[in-house]
Amino acid sequence: MKPIAIALTGASGMPYALTLLKELVKSQEKIYVMISQAANTVIAMETDLNLGSDTKAIEKNLTQYLGAKDGQIEVFSKNQWTAPVA
């Protein structure tokens, strides 16, 4: 299967985004996540989840929170120009 790319912006509704991610994890999809700083702030405001500030911390915390397998979720920063989704 091809990976699914999800971009999270600063819009409200992060519980919906996290629910979508949980369902993708359950279906064992490979997930690429791009998350803006605003989205990170909104997630913290709307949920009990603090993802951290750097890409590796966000990846680790999302993996744990969603119950994903190691490597199932990859998080890319806005400056990763060589990312597969670029």
Question: What DSSP assignment string belongs to 43-82?
Answer: HHHHSS----SSHHHHHHHHHHHHTPPTTTEEEE-TT-TT
Q: Is residue 86 part of a domain?
A: no
Spell out the residues 6+ positions from residue 78 whose beta carbon is closer than 8 angstroms to its own.
34, 36
Q: What is the pTM of this model?
A: 0.91
**C-alpha dist (Å) from residue 79 to 21, 42, 83:** 23, 21, 9
Q: Is residue 24 part of a domain?
A: yes
Domain of 60? 4-76
How many domains is the chain partitioned into structurally?
A: 1
Residue 73 to residue 86: CA distance in whole angstroms: 16
Do the domain assignments include residue 29? yes
Are 40 and 58 in contact by the 8 Å Cβ rule? The answer is: yes
Q: Establish if 46 belongs to a structural domain.
A: yes
pLDDT in tens, 10-68: 999 999 999 999 999 999 999 999 999 999 999 999 998 999 999 999 999 999 999 99
Asked if residue 81 belongs to a domain, the reply is: no
Residue 36: inside a domain: yes
Tell me, what's the pLDDT at 79?
A: 87
